[in-house]
Amino acid sequence: MEIKLDIFETMALATIVFYFGAYIRKRIKVLEKYCIPSAVVGGMIFSIIMLVCKLNGILTISLDTTLQQVFMTAFFTSIGYTASFRLLKQGGVKVIIFLILSTILVITQNILGVSLASAFKLNPLLGLTTGSIPLVGGHGTSGSFGPLLEGMGVKGATTVAFASATFGLVMGSILGGFAAKTLIERNKLKTVKEYRDKTIPVSDFHQDNEAVLSHKKLMNGAAWIFLAMGIGAIITKFMEGLGLTFPSYIGAMLAAAIIKNICDLRKVKLEDKEIETLGGISLSFFLSLALMGLKLWELFDLALPLIIMLIAQTILMFVFGYYIVFRVMGKDYEAAVFVSALSGFGMGSTANAVANMDALTDKYGFAKTPYLVVPIVGCLFIDFINSFVITIFINIFG
């Protein structure tokens, strides 16, 4: 039996799936521990149920995902509005160094992914779905680049990307603490066994926003998002005319960054919190819709290559953090904290990075510089850079 849902029924189902995921997430503490978003929990459960139904010939559900593209673009537009070069400058030299290291990691993850896919005689572009798309980019970037790659003939790209992103969230949390603790103990680093307030503003789209509701500010925030999306559509058409291949949100993301930095120069205040909140709402619905449409049966033939490729990415992350990041960032206690943070958002999200740092500093003492640098790089700039690096790889190997 097949059920076809219209746009309103699809959004109602996506809402149910999201809140069901939130309910399960609160009941199963390990999901909260590894920062698995509610939309991912609910969407994965739904897609598993649909897999069982399909394999047994019971039921298939066709969704109207018209709004998925809108939510995706709105979310990445909100990310574009965080790309403030004024903040980059305020962060100092270590922000620049850590951003360069993060960029090198992005490039290396994609080189490894493409190389291993080619070794398994798979489409090289499929290797990107075990590289920086799901690992540095997370579920949001997976949901945008996956369909793009499938449109280029890469079967199972979206499913592989989401599976890799979920693996990364868990492994990034485990790896960060292990690598940093080993560095501290083996090198007998001098730690600061003192607690201080670690309250740093971190852009986490899964936390509650308790700000006072203001129609005017929300309206202004929505207006800035739609303005950038409109300008971005023009930029996208221009870049497509040059023969380039990239996800549709890149133009909007670039437009938002330009508007943000012009406003910084002109000292025009944007509704940053409202833009972030609207972006978070968009991300939740986008992920719910994207995960509900997963075709899990496409993983069957890719199971062994996928496992080997993800293990290789885990080894890369450990080696890169342990031998390179630690040395470049100063070979001291704060450098070890940087390693734990990079393992977090290098394989998962900035929320994982902060959670890794919290766990480490609760035991060994507060480290000021990482708590300043990591949110700036992880929340503001690395998503922007990651999208452009992935786009370059797609145009090279596609």
Cβ neighbours of 105 (radius 10 Å): 25
Convert 146-164 into a string of H (helix), E (strand) and C (coil).
Answer: HHHHHHCCCCCHHHHHHHH
pLDDT in tens, 345-386: 898 777 778 888 888 888 888 888 888 888 778 866 888 899
pLDDT in tens, 22-40: 999 899 888 877 667 888 8
What are the start-end ranges of the H helices in 242-332?
249-266, 272-292, 303-319, 326-328
pLDDT higher than threshold 70 for residue 209: no
DSSP state letters, 223-253: HHHHHHHHHHHHHHHHHHHTT----THHHHH
* CB-CB contact of 156 with 297 (8 Å): no
pLDDT at 34: 64
Burial profile 284-294: b = 16 or more Cβ within 10 angstroms, e = fewer? bbbbbbbbbbb
- CB-based contacts of 140, cutoff 8 Å, min separation 6: 72, 75, 76, 283, 286, 287
User: Which residue did the predictor score with more confidence, 38 or 245?
Assistant: 38
* pTM listed for this prediction: 0.76
Question: What is d(CA 1, CA 3) in angstroms, rounded to the nearest whole number?
Answer: 7
Cβ neighbours of 277 (radius 10 Å): 19
Cα angle 289, 26, 275; round to 5: 50
* CB-CB contact of 245 with 27 (8 Å): no
pLDDT in tens, 35-85: 678 888 898 899 899 999 988 888 889 999 899 889 989 988 988 887 787
Q: Which of 137-151, 198-212, 225-239 shows the lowest per-residue confidence on average (mean pLDDT)?
A: 198-212
- pLDDT category, 206, cuts 50, 70, 90? very low
pLDDT at 365: 86
pLDDT at 149: 94
Question: What is d(CA 134, CA 132) in angstroms, rounded to the nearest whole number?
Answer: 6
Q: Are strands 60-62 and 2-4 parallel, antiparallel or unpaired?
A: parallel
Which structure tokens are listed for 298?
Answer: 């496409």
